[in-house]
Amino acid sequence: MTLEFKDILVFTDGACSGNPGPGGWGAVVVLPEGIVHELGDGDRSTTNNRMEISGALGALSYLKSTPGDVRIYTDSTYVIRGITQWVWGWKRNNWKTAEGNEVQNKDLWEELSYLVYKRKGLGELSWHYVRGHSGVPGNERCDEISVAFSKGQSFRLYHGPLLKYDLPILDLPEPEGLPEMKSYNKGEKKAAYSYLSNIGGVVYRHKDWGSCERRVKGQSGAKFKKTMSASEEQEVLKSWGLAGAVIKES
């Protein structure tokens, strides 16, 4: 794969020893005019998820006034699912999970979602999954930066022409589907994105099963479905013959 001239290419990663413990994040930004900027920082007490988000934050903060389409590559399913799927439900629920718990890393998610919103007037932003430690130069470099900062080591970040950059950073991974995110807590169930109820073609979105059950209980012909993402919501509507229908909030 090659970098389209108009695109800004970004790789990000995060690392943490102890989780919580000392951590670091790294990012590599390649501008279409042929300039490479490496970014990174560390935190003495943090978590792996916070560092993964911080990598994306660092890159988008650097690009906050730079026009152009941006492609971000990360090995964090947590970051990709969080910013493309879960954040909408969190905002709708006043930054609470479907179970009513506080969203972890709310401060970082709020900042990241704001930067994503601000990019709308500058160009398209897309998120791409890259499998970690699979030999992809951009991902490997970000991991190296992240680990160095997590250990408090002195690290020289590159800023300069692409032609003098030692890595084949434009060797991009082949597209692949986003794998299921692993739970960090044994036995933890993945939170639902929503619960849909359908009575006579009128569809409501519920934040929990209890409110969905109350609407459909005893209703002849009622349909209901738990969904795990915005795209799955649309698939359910399609299966009900209601593609494109407006979903009301309960």
The residue from 38, 43, 143, 233 that is catalytic is: 143
Residue pointed to by tokens 């399913």:
77
Catalytic residue among 7, 13, 38, 43: 13
**Set 7, 38, 43, 52: catalytic member:** 52
> Can you list the pairs that 232-238 forms with residues at least 24 positions away whose Cβ atoms lie under 8 Å?
232/193, 233/193, 233/194, 233/196, 233/205, 236/196, 237/196, 237/203
> Is 43 a catalytic site residue?
no
The token pair at 154 is 């002195």
Annotated catalytic residue within 75, 89, 206, 233: 75
User: Of the listed 7, 14, 38, 233, which one is catalytic?
Assistant: 14
Question: Is 52 an annotated catalytic residue?
Answer: yes
Local structure of 145: helix, strand or coil: helix
Tell me, what amino acid is at 73? Y
Integer Rg of the chain from CA: 20
Is 143 annotated as catalytic? Answer: yes
Annotated catalytic, 75? yes
Give residue 221's identity as a one-letter amino acid code. G
Q: Catalogue the E-assigned strands of the chain.
A: 7-16, 21-31, 35-46, 69-74, 125-129, 159-161, 194-199, 202-206, 223-227, 248-249
Catalytic residue chosen out of the listed positions 133, 166, 177, 187: 133
- Catalytic center residues: 13-14, 52, 75, 133, 143
